[in-house]
Amino acid sequence: MGAHGHPDRQAEPGREIPEADSTAATVPAAAEARAEAAQTEAVEAASADPVAAEVARARLVRSIVAGGGLADPRWRVAFEQVPRHLFVPYFYSGEPGGYERLWGQDPDPERRARWLEGVYEDVPLATRLRDGELISSSSQPSLMALMLDALEVADGDTVLEIGAGSGYNAGLLAHRLGAERVTTVDLDPEITESARTHLAAAGYRPTVVTGDGARGCPARAPFDRILATCALPAVPLTWLAQSRPGGIVLAPLATGLIALRVTDATHAEGRFLPTPAYFVPLRGGDAAEHGRAADGEGAGGSGRFPRRPLRTGGLPRGVLRNDSFHFLLTLTAGRLDPREAFELWQHEGRPPRERYGVTLHEGREWGWLDRSDGPYSWPMSDQD
C-alpha cells in the first residue's frame, strides 16, 4: 500500500471523490446529473456520421501502425473502438492572428467535415484556451500510443492519469483495463466535468477527480502505474508513495518522457524514452511544499509552479536549435551553466535522450548521463 492509501474510500466509477489533502471540489449529485445530461446531449449532437467516423478512425490507426506504433493488439483494438470525436466535439486550429474554432455542430457541412478530418489526424488538438493561453489539449494519438505501450500494463493493473484533458486517454485506458481500474485527475473543474461527460457519451465511467495532480490521488492509491500527460520540471515524491513496489511512473520531463521503476515510497529510477515530447505544463502544487522549483494536458492545484528561466549562455543559435542539446539544456536548466552543458554534450558525442536518466532516493532527485553514480549528474530539485 502507498503511504497515503485509503482502500476503504473507493469512489463509484465516474463519480467525483473529495481528497482530504488536495483542492478537490465536488458537485452536488443532482446538479452534476443535470449538467452531465445537458452536455451529453451536446456531445451526441456533435457526433459525426458513423460510417465517416469509422473510416477516419481506421485511417488514423493504419497511420499509427505504419509508424511502428500499436504493436500490442489490445491497444490497437482500443484505438479502433474508442471514438475520438466524442472526446473532441470542438478544437482550435491555429490561424494567422489567432485561432479558428472547428466543431461538430457547425451548420456549414464543409466546416463539419474539416472538424471530423482534424479530429482523426495524428496531431495534438487544442481543446481549451483561457485568455489566449492553452490550458488543455488532446495529445497526438501516436504519442499516446507510445506512452500507453511504455506503461507495460497487465490485466488487473490500476492506473492514475495526471491531466484529464479531453478524457480520450482515460477512455483508452478504461477500454483496455476496465473503468473501475482507471482514475484521472485535473485541477480545472471545467476540464474534469467535460472529460466525465465525454467518457459517459462513449460508454466509459472511470473515476474523475478534480484536484491537485502534483498530490496524486491518495484516496484511490496505491496504483500500479502513474501516467502524467502534462509537462513536469521534476517528479513529485508523493507519486512514489502512491505507487506499488515495482510500479511505473511515466511522465513528460524537460522535452522527453521519463519512465521510472518504483522500488518503494522513497526510491525510483529510470531512463528517458528516445522520443521527443512537448506537453502543456503541470498547473498546481506549491513549490516549497512539494520540494520543487519548477518550470512547468493541465493538471494541478493551488497555483502554477514557478518557471525556471532557460538561460542560453550566448551559445550559437544553430546549437540551441539542435534537438538533443535543447533537451539537455532544458533538463539541466538552473543546474548546469549552459556552456558546461554544451561541453558535456560535445565531449560525450551528442548523446540521445535514452542515455539520460533520473533517480529519486530518500527525498533527493537527480538527473544523470549513462548511470546514476557516474561522473555526470545534477540535482533536479532545490532540496538537493
CA dist., res. 162 & res. 300, Å (int): 8
Looking at 22, 47, 93, 136, which residue is catalytic?
Answer: 136
How far is it, in rounded angstroms, from Cα 122 to Cα 143? 9
Cα–Cα distance for residue pair 158/317, rounded to 1 Å: 45
Is the Cα dihedral 162, 164, 169, 172 positive or negative? positive
Rg of the chain, C-alpha, whole Å: 20
Which of 347-352's residues contact partners 24+ apart within 8 Å by CB, and which partners? 348/376, 350/322, 350/324, 350/325, 351/324, 352/274, 352/324
> Could you say which DSSP state residue 5 is in?
-
Comparing CA positions, the residue from 344, 234, 315 lying closest to residue 282 is 234
Are the C-beta atoms of 29 and 246 separated by less than 8 Å? no
Nearest to 208 by CA among 225, 190, 222: 190
Across the chain, how many H-helices and E-strands are there?
Answer: 12, 14
Among residues 147, 256, 164, which one has the least CA distance to residue 207?
A: 164
Q: Looking at this protein, which amino acid is placed at residue 218? A: P
- DSSP labels, 275-334: S----PBPB---HHHHT---------SSSBPPPPP---TT--HHHHT-HHHHHHHHHTTT
CA 71, distance to chain mean position in Å, is 21
- Has 243 been annotated as catalytic? no
- 121 to 53, 60, 141, 224, 363: CA distances (angstroms): 12, 6, 8, 31, 42
Looking up cell 500500479 gives 224
Residues noted as catalytic: 136
